[in-house]
A = this chain, B = another copy of it.
Amino acid sequence: MTYAAPVNDMVETIRSAAGFEQAVADGIYGDLSLDLVTSVLEEAGRFASERIAPLNRIGDEIGSRWSDGAVTTPPGWKETYRDWTAAGWNALPAPEQWGGQGLPAVVQAACAEMWNASAMSFALAPLLSAGAVEALIAHGSEELKQTYLAKLVAGEWTGTMNLTEPQAGSDLAALRTKAVPNGDGSYRITGQKIFITYGEHDMTDNIVHLVLARLPDAPAGTRGISLFLVPKFIPDANGNPGRRNDVRCASIEHKLGIHGSPTCVMVYGDEGGATGWLIGEENRGLNCMFTMMNAARLAVGLQGVAIADRAWQQALAYAHERRQGRASGAPAGEMSPIIQHPNIQRKLLTMKALAAAARAICYRTAAALDRAHLAADPAERARGAAHASLLTPVAKAWSTDIGVEAASIGVQIHGGMGFIEETGAAQHLRDARIAPIYEGTNGIQAIDLVTRKLPMNGGAVVQAAIAAMRQTATKAANAQADALGDAAARLRDAAESLDRATAFLLQQQAGATPDVALAVAAPYLRLFGIAEGLDALVNIALAAVKAVEAGDANPAHASRIHIARFFAGNIAPEAPALADIVLRGADAVLDARDALVA
């Protein structure tokens, strides 16, 4: 039930899978060193284990409670949040100009994984605040920035995202919340929003809502949506919380998991209208949202990694401790720890390999965002942005899918105890289950990948990713390391499979049958994740092979080589099957449409 941040694996992933050294050579990270990154992560890991992880069960058992419009977070939540912000963790990724520490996305990614692994429902508050910060920096007026940014960056106030309405979930075109100009630069907002994470709580003395709404003369559909900032308390002349705004939390949801995180129904304008201010241009609200979408989706992908790792740590500890049956070679008359049984080993390795691959994909995405934001050369920035765009739906969907998968395996390893709530294994499954749904369902991510991301630059972005996999496979083959098993050949197969599936989908998109791509988007995304994940794990393993050859006896190297080999031989064989489904499976989906609709 405890959590220890895998700092060494994280640093090694940043280095060997996310290309840290190349990025340093390219001048992207200034004078940031891996040593400094390690120190930051070690400190974050201590806070996560010692302060946040103990909140996880109590957050689940007691949950956030609603009463008469107010939300009480679970015991310990408020104090821990206060200390966490005081230690500067909320400000980590923000620019120094606004009080942030200006650390790159790749460092923030590792820290975010820790906050979520220690208590996902606690980590959701800052996750949403970060989105608000990003939107304000990119699109806010100078006045809004001056009023809100420092407080949001410090974590003194939290931020929220108000998109969903009962009739408008994945489809924001159906949005109905209204905004009417007051004539003084402010607007009156009226409407109801649902599924608002931390829409109300008791951890800070103000909450800054970012709300999508329509102006009176706005065109229908998504081109008539604007973004507004609506504070819970309107700041007074000194910037302190002043008059209570006309926004309230009508109720919170009774959910499968993340009980600590209040999921609010927010009502704007019950008494005439909440006062809000426009962010960015009129009717360009969705564009403002897209600005922060990559970061938010990556953050949710990291929740999948986090839960997978937490579930793995718990299952590993249990498998060492629980004795049942006798493993081959064990002394007669003694029960062996179940970790000595090969079928349990397969399950544990599956959890670990999936978590390691998802972590690598997410950190890689973060590194691409860093390149997009920090490279000096505009062409490099564009390359980074394109790469991040391509990887983001995979980071979000693949990682959250494997988060659920790993948590479910974790329950299974616990046997009957896994089904008992006190054990804690079931909580991970319940918590994990939201991540494939929110911040754009994984179905939406797959559609985004095949319809928007593959065609970027005429397919050149995805083709560059596939070329990189082939290069890694060649490097692995040349390494001639027995310990890698058939990882090189499996990676080559996975890259070929992805190439075949990609070429097919690009052709379908260009042709007259876009529905084909939609029908096989999900298996395509899974295939992409497997290929990208294996590529990353092989890169990490190749570094380990080098270290071992150089005489480094750290057992972590052997373990990393093993994980790549296990993934290659026991997960990656799915790749050609998925390509097969992509190429030939769509007809059976589309032809059955009438049978299902009837």
Contacts and interface: CB of A to CB of B under 8 A. Distances in A.
A507 to B, nearest CB: 17
B415 A433 contact: no
A597 interface: yes
Given A589-B349, A595-B555, A595-B559, A171 B419 contact: no
A562 B588 contact: yes
A171 B592 CA distance: 46
A99 interface: no
Contacts of A422: 254
Contacts of A523: 570
The 6 closest A-B pairs by CB, nearest first: A342-B519, A256-B426, A342-B518, A577-B577, A171-B324, A566-B588
A596 B313 CA distance: 11
Given A339-B596, A408-B404, A573-B581, A419 B443 contact: no
7 contacts: A174-B324, A256-B429, A339-B597, A345-B592, A349-B596, A562-B595, A569-B588
Q: How large is the interface on A (under 10, 10 to 19, 20 to 34, 35 or more residues)?
A: 35 or more
Interface in A529-567: 555, 558-559, 562, 565-566
A186 to B, nearest CB: 30
A500 interface: no
A447 B325 CA distance: 13
A565 B580 contact: no
A597 B340 contact: yes
A167 B325 CA distance: 11
Interface of A: 164, 167, 169-171, 173-174, 194-195, 220, 253-257, 316, 320, 323-325, 328, 333, 335, 339-349, 404, 408, 411-412, 415-416, 418-422, 426, 429-430, 433-434, 436-438, 441-443, 446-447, 485-486, 514-515, 518-523, 555, 558-559, 562, 565-566, 568-570, 573-574, 576-578, 580-581, 584-593, 595-598
Q: Is the interface of A mostly helix, strand, loop or mixed?
A: helix
Given A256-B421, A345-B596, A416 B195 contact: yes
B522 A346 contact: yes
A195 B333 CA distance: 25
B412 A436 contact: yes
A433 B408 contact: yes
B421 A254 contact: yes
Contact of A577 (B167, B438, B442, B574): B574
Given A195-B416, A325-B171, A433 B437 contact: no
A419 B404 contact: no
A453 to B, nearest CB: 15
Contacts of A418: 437
Contacts of A584: 486, 569, 573
B438 A593 contact: no
